[in-house]
Amino acid sequence: MSTTPDPQTPDTAQLLEIALEAARRAGALLRDGRPADLGVAATKSSPIDVVTEMDIAAEKLITSYIGRLRPDDGFLGEEGASSDGTSGVRWVIDPLDGTVNYLYGLPSWSVSIAAEFHGTALVGVVEAPMRGETYQAVLGGGALVNGVPAHCRTAVEFSQALVSTGFGYLSERRAAQAEVVRTLVPKFRDIRRAGSAAIDLADVGCGRLDAYYERGLNPWDLAAGALFAREAGALTGGRPGAPASGELVVAAPPGLFEPLQELLDGLGAWHD
């Protein structure tokens, strides 16, 4: 049996090391370099979908650092990084997940970096500097929080479930999402809305949430956190039988994941 590694398959240990260092550097920039007078540099889908100079600076730091080490890789970043590369590896980057929290000086924000190989996430890192925590996962290699194995909770009944979600930036979508939440609040233990999808997914993996769902995420919001949640024993997906996508993301332990998917599907959480 050959012990020679397939030259096409990237070295996941190297990808992880690069992702960890890039996320650490970007996290330090965001934590230590936040201007006291931070304002909105631009808006995207709506007047409340904001970008700061720090989102842009963090993405530039990450893509420059990774690009020097892996010049043949591609990028997909929230703030415009977009290239196919030739290696089959694509870095999916949310340089600042939880931008509104960061703008307001709230601590729940993160740097999210995943490395995909032909569309499959092999490595994911979520850096949460204000928590002092780094969440890392390798496909088939488990999930660690600050180097300690992370495990999701075991399934509970809806009435015992602490569930996080989020809302979009367009008022029409927010109205539809509020209707779903109105139905869910009396069913669940409680609802949380923390403002960073990557941290919500990491919290499912760490057992700090029973479940998370959200409609309207972009690939960079969920790539690293969803891998972390899966490697910590949770299931992730969208509508029943569908993968996680902008239509709907659901993350929860087996036994809670399936009934939650069905409940959300019946409530129309997958459309506006």
* Residues of the shown chain interacting with ligand LIP in the complex, contacts defined by CB under 6 A: 78, 94, 97-99, 166-169, 195-197, 214, 221
At its nearest, how many Å lie between ligand LIP and the CB of residue 169?
A: 6
Instruction: Judge whether 43 and 151 are in contact, CB under 8 Å.
Output: no
Phi first, then psi: what are they for 169, rounded to 5°? Answer: -105, -5
Of 195 and 237, which has the nearer Cβ to ligand LIP?
195
At its nearest, how many Å lie between ligand LIP and the CB of residue 222?
A: 8
Residue with tokens 């650490």: 24
Burial environment of residue 158 by CB neighbours within 10 A (0 to 12, 13 to 18, 19 or more): middle
Instruction: Judge whether 229 and 251 are in contact, CB under 8 Å.
Output: yes
Of 98 and 124, which has the nearer Cβ to ligand LIP?
98
Phi first, then psi: what are they for 216, rounded to 5°? Answer: 105, 10
At its nearest, how many Å lie between ligand LIP and the CB of residue 30?
A: 12
What's the DSSP call for residue 10?
Answer: -
At its nearest, how many Å lie between ligand LIP and the CB of residue 44?
A: 8
**Long-range interactions of 81-88: CB distance < 8 A, separation 24+:** 87/10, 88/8, 88/10, 88/117, 88/118
Of 14 and 44, which has the nearer Cβ to ligand LIP?
44
At its nearest, how many Å lie between ligand LIP and the CB of residue 55?
A: 8
Of 73 and 97, which has the nearer Cβ to ligand LIP?
97
At its nearest, how many Å lie between ligand LIP and the CB of residue 88?
A: 26
Rounded to a whole number of angstroms, the CA Rg of the chain reads: 18
Name the residue whose CB lies closest to ligand LIP: 166
Give the list of residues 6+ apart from residue 124 with CB closer than 8 angstroms, or none: 19, 112, 113, 114, 115, 135, 136, 137, 223, 224, 225, 226, 227, 228
Of 25 and 173, which has the nearer Cβ to ligand LIP?
173
Of 138 and 222, which has the nearer Cβ to ligand LIP?
222
